[in-house]
């Protein structure tokens, strides 16, 4: 019938493969060439007598999320958590029909979410950051990508053309020596022996709070802590001092869980110390503190990557600017320096 460019800039193919009086079908593509190929394929199938009108997909977004979880999501390390997050996001969207989830639909939803114009649910409250929006987009795209691979979604990923939002990098906060002293002293006075030791381990090894808090005695041997079940699934071992090892086992057995949940106790003490941190950085401030002081004292960037367990050196490069010699040549090799020669 026809292939025309629509307002969105995409190309819509409009055809009646069975001829006049037959079922009319339309489909939109990113390029004219894709639309032409699709139209030709419909007519070729009709010529063979094999063409049947496409059935309208009645599935809602919630149905796709559940199918994704059943076929793939349950195998992920935090699959249950991801599924709950996606279903909560789906509820915020109004659980649309899957075919309604177009690039335009999602872009408008994202704009309202950024402005806090949507009725929040327990998981998603008020305005959100651009970084959170990018995470949402990544998770939803992954659902469609996986269903396409499994043959459970026909056509393109409806979110493939949505661009990630750009935002300024946030400086990673870390504690200076005086703040570390104040924090450790306050933790000691708080009476929370567990929080004090977990914080000490984080400062000594660069561990995430959850990694240190969930340690078992078997993971500490011969002056090393071996962290397993980490965020990226990699196992890593980090040396510790004999003093710290003795302190950990002073009142604890060498097997089984070492600490009780104590993160709330830590954050309460952090508040009493009047250490103000950017939103969302409290749980990682000790890890950032270790990495920052490691580099400021001349530590090697590749060694830091292994200690922190980063899969990509780009993550570790966030601390490179703290090295004493970082970009030092800017002083000696700028054009003004040549004038003094």
Which candidate in 182, 224, 284, 318 is catalytic?
Answer: 284
CA distance 118 to 124: 10
For 175, the token pair is 């504690």
Q: Which CA distances in Å does 95 have to 56, 64, 101?
A: 17, 11, 10
Q: What angle do CA 266, 301, 282 make, to 5 degrees?
A: 15
Q: Which CA distances in Å does 287 have to 133, 210, 263, 299?
A: 25, 11, 14, 15
Which candidate in 82, 110, 113, 208 is catalytic?
Answer: 208
Is 231 tagged catalytic?
yes
Is 319 tagged catalytic?
yes
CA distance 274 to 231: 30
CA distance 131 to 167: 7
Residue 17: which of 34, 1, 36 has the closest Cα?
Answer: 1
Q: What angle do CA 139, 142, 146 make, to 5 degrees?
A: 150
Which candidate in 287, 288, 293, 305 is catalytic?
Answer: 287
Instruction: With H, G, I as helix, E, B as strand and everything else as coil, classify residue 62.
Output: helix
Residue 273: which of 167, 184, 209 has the closest Cα?
Answer: 184
CA distance 4 to 35: 9
Which candidate in 99, 231, 252, 268 is catalytic?
Answer: 231
Is 284 tagged catalytic?
yes
Cβ–Cβ < 8 Å for 255, 245: no
Q: Give the number of other Cβ atoms within 10 Å of residue 167's Cβ.
A: 11
Is 74 tagged catalytic?
no
Is 208 tagged catalytic?
yes
Cβ–Cβ < 8 Å for 182, 270: no
Is 194 tagged catalytic?
no
Residue where the block lists tokens 């026809």: 2
Positions marked catalytic: 208, 231, 284, 287, 310, 319
């Amino acid at each position: 019938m026809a292939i025309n460019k629509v307002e969105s800039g995409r190309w819509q193919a409009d055809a009646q493969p069975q001829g006049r009086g037959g079922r009319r079908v339309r489909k939109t593509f990113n390029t004219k060439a894709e639309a032409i190929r699709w139209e030709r394929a419909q007519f070729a199938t009709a010529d063979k007598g094999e063409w049947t009108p496409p059935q309208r997909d009645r599935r809602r977004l919630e149905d796709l999320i559940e199918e994704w979880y059943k076929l793939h999501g349950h195998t992920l390390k935090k699959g249950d958590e991801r599924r709950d997050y996606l279903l909560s996001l789906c509820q915020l969207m109004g659980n649309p029909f899957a075919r309604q989830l177009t690039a335009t639909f999602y872009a408008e939803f994202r704009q309202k979410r950024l402005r806090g114009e949507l009725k929040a649910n327990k998981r998603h409250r008020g305005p959100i950051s651009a970084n959170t929006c990018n995470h949402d987009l990544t998770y939803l795209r992954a659902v469609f990508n996986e269903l396409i691979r499994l043959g459970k979604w026909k056509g393109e990923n409806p979110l493939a053309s949505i661009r990630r939002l750009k935002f300024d990098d946030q400086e990673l906060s870390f504690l200076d020596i005086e703040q570390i002293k104040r924090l450790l002293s306050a933790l000691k006075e708080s009476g929370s022996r567990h929080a004090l030791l977990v914080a000490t381990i984080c400062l000594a090894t660069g561990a995430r709070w959850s990694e240190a808090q969930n340690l078992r005695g078997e993971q500490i041997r011969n002056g090393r802590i071996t962290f397993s079940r980490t965020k990226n699934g990699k196992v890593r071992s980090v040396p510790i001092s004999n003093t710290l090892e003795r302190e950990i086992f002073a009142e604890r057995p060498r097997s089984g869980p070492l600490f009780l949940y104590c993160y709330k106790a830590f954050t309460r003490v952090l508040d009493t110390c009047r250490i103000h941190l950017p939103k969302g950085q409290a749980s990682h401030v000790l890890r950032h503190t270790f990495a920052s002081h490691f580099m400021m004292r001349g530590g090697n960037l590749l060694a830091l990557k292994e200690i922190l367990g980063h899969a990509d050196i780009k993550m570790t490069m966030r601390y490179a600017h703290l090295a004493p010699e970082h970009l030092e040549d800017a002083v000696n090799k700028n054009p003004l320096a040549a004038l003094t020669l």
